[in-house]
Amino acid sequence: MNLYRKMGNGKGFGLALYKRWITGLQSRSLHALVICEPSHSSKEFNLSQASRSAITAARHIVKTDSVSILTFNAQEISSFKGIPIKDKTYGNLSNLFIASNPLLENYEAERLTSVCLGLHNKHKFTHIISAASTFGKNLLPRVAACLDTCQVSDIVKVISSSSFVRPIYAGNALATLEAVNPDALQVITVRATSFEPAESSEQVQSIDDLIKTEAVEKVEQVELDVSLLEETAKMSCVEGIERAESGRPDLGSAKVVVSGGRGLKNKENFDQIIVPLADKLNAAVGATRAAVDSGYCANDMQVGQTGKVVAPQLYIGVGLSGAIQHLSGMKDSKVIVAINKDPEAPIFQVADYGLAADLFEAVPELTSKLP
């Protein structure tokens, strides 16, 4: 099992809990596998922005072109978008592994785990990486447990191939971790907002394009152990999926986010005050846990420690106090605007622009003045 120890991070935020007594040098060549989130509709595959950020982190870790990616498909895909193009520093991706089987249609983590383990057994990756999204948080701990290693969660910085920085205490401190055994497999989730998404191109739309542009070295269909998949499928299965259709930008990658809190008082107010402002700004809609728990909106809109982490260009927080657990999910936003009737609300301490006003008057007025 690989263990990690906490180090000082050199900026004064880290917790130097242990002295560094082993400095290991990586003695084998590195090969990272990035497990990419499925984000596709029927015949069109589109790699998520979070996965492209995980690819950037992987490139920083291995510092070579030895980064491969794994995607899952239930069927033949005709259009393949969003796969990163050749990088100026780190070159192209090594392998694009595609695991295709109807049993993978609903992406049950138990089934995907068996695919990842099979692939790792064959290729012996040094790092297995995914975005710290709902998908990655569900899948990677299972992979780490089966491979008897510790997972490093939610990294925000790469120090070396075996040392990473991650937030702790709801983002109030940063811990630098160093693998006790740098040669052992490292399983890592990546905070997507901390790494620029690897560049992709609109011109690259198919597997042929990927090969032609040398974006990937090789495309390989993963040989699946179908009997194992069938066995795993007996243990758990998805009974049905309800998709919340929305024409809005994805909350995790939107440039503008408008979030509402308990101050809105009920769902009707949330819909009538937050949504029109978000519409005018082409923004994603977020919420505090208090708003979600009170039923003002769906729980996939929750921003914060136990929700989504966002870092948009503009974050507008309406009728929310700025609890530490909420701040940990949005404090890296470039510009923060707060609207709260209590001038002492903690959100004003992190806000770039604050409006101490009643949201029921201020927000409709603001919305009406926007083009």
**Where does this chain touch ligand FAD (CB under 6 A) — which range of 57-65, 68-76, 270-278, 305-313?**
305-313
Is 340 among the residues that bind ligand FAD (CB under 6 A)?
Answer: yes
358 C-beta neighbours (distance < 10 Å), count: 13
SS3 state of residue 174? strand
Angstrom distance (rounded) from CA 48 to CA 52: 7
Instruction: Please name which of 119, 92, 124 lies closest in space to residue 217, comparing C-alpha atoms.
Output: 92
Give the containing element (helix H, strand E) for 163: strand 163-168
Options 63, 280, 331, 341; binder of ligand FAD; rule CB under 6 A: 341
Closer to ligand FAD at the Cβ: 24 or 364?
364
Is 191 among the residues that bind ligand FAD (CB under 6 A)?
Answer: no
Is 306 among the residues that bind ligand FAD (CB under 6 A)?
Answer: yes
Angstrom distance (rounded) from CA 93 to CA 64: 9
Options 232, 321, 333, 367; binder of ligand FAD; rule CB under 6 A: 321
Site for ligand FAD in 236-295 (CB under 6 A): 261-263, 288-291
Closer to ligand FAD at the Cβ: 206 or 306?
306
Closer to ligand FAD at the Cβ: 38 or 263?
263
Instruction: Please name which of 364, 318, 321 lies closest in space to residue 338, comparing C-alpha atoms.
Output: 318
Q: In sequence order, which residues have a C-beta less than 8 Å from that of residue 243 and are 6 or more positions away? A: none
Q: What is the DSSP string of 75-128?
A: S--SEEE--B--BTTTBSEEEEEEEE-GGGTT--HHHHHHHHHHHHHHH--SEE
Is 176 among the residues that bind ligand FAD (CB under 6 A)?
Answer: no
Q: How many residues bind ligand FAD (CB under 6 A)?
A: 27
For 218-335, where are the alpha helices, taking DSSP H only? 226-235, 267-269, 275-281, 289-293, 324-327
Options 199, 214, 231, 358; binder of ligand FAD; rule CB under 6 A: 358
* 306 annotated as ligand-binding: yes
For 264-370, where are the alpha helices, taking DSSP H only? 267-269, 275-281, 289-293, 324-327, 347-350, 359-369
Is 320 among the residues that bind ligand FAD (CB under 6 A)?
Answer: yes
The secondary structure of residue 56, as a DSSP letter, is H
Closer to ligand FAD at the Cβ: 165 or 359?
359
Closer to ligand FAD at the Cβ: 196 or 365?
365
* 320 annotated as ligand-binding: yes
Options 325, 331, 350, 364; binder of ligand FAD; rule CB under 6 A: 325
Which residues here bind ligand FAD, judged by CB under 6 A?
Answer: 261-263, 288-291, 302-307, 319-321, 323, 325-326, 329, 340-342, 345, 358-360
For the annotated binding site for FAD, the residues are 262, 288-289, 302-306, 319-326, 340
